[in-house]
Amino acid sequence: MHGQAHFIMTKTIFKTAGKENFISRLKKFAFNFFPAFRGTGGRVCFLSDDWKEIHIKLGLNWRTKNYVGSVFGGSIYGALDPFYMIQLIQILGNEYVVWDKAANIKFIKPIKRTVYAKFLITDELVNEIKEKVKVEKKYIINLTTTFLDESNIVYAEVIKTIYIADKEYYQTNKKGQQKD
C-alpha cells in the first residue's frame, strides 16, 4: 500500500493558484507510470488542468543513487526533460509544431535529499510565442527550471531551448528547403 500511496499522494512545496481536476490527476498518474519517465526516479506532484503549471519531485534512493552517493546526473536531467515541450504542445494546440532543440544543465550541488522543480507557462509567454510565430513563422525560446529543496537551496538548473513553428510553415520547409 505504501508504494501505491506514493503515486497518489505526491506532495509539492510550491504554492499555486492552478487547479487540478479529475482528468489532470489521471494524466499525472499516467506520467508517473510511463516507463521512460518512471525510470528517471522523478514523479509528477501537480499538473494543472490547463497544462500551464507542472511540479515534479526527485529523491535519492537505490534507483537514482550514483557511484558517489548523490542523485545520478541522468536522473536529474531525465526527470526535467519532457515537460516544457509537452506543456507547449498541449497549450498551443495543433496549429503549432514544438520540438526540443537543446538543453544545458548546471549541476550546482550534489542532490542527497528530495528536490522539486516547477514548470510554469504564463499567459504572457503564450501570447509572446503566438505573436513571434505569427510574424516570423518560427520562434526559438529558452526556458529555465531549477531543482530546489524545501529550504529553497538550488541543486541543479536546466535551460531548455524549444523550437516552435507554425505547422504550415514547418510542413512546407521540413523537406529540406530551409534548415531550422
Report pTM.
0.87
Query: How sure is the predictor about 119, in pLDDT bands with cuts at 50, 70 and 90?
Result: very high
Q: Tell me which of 3.40.630.10, 3.30.365.10, 2.60.40.1660, 3.10.129.10 is the CATH number of domain 2-9+23-173.
A: 3.10.129.10
* 108 grid coordinates: 550546482
The residue type of 46 is F
Apex 118 CA angle, 60 and 70, nearest 5 = 20
- Strand 115-120 with 154-166, pairing: unpaired
How far is residue 94's CA from residue 23's CA, in Å, rounded to a whole number? 20
Mean pLDDT of 107-124: 96
Q: Decide if 28 contacts 8 (C-beta within 8 A).
A: no
pLDDT, tens digit, 9 for 90 and up, residues 46-69: 999 999 999 999 999 999 999 999
Q: Taking the domains of the chain in order of start, what are their residue ranges?
A: 2-9+23-173
* 77 grid coordinates: 536531467
* pLDDT of amino acid 177: 55
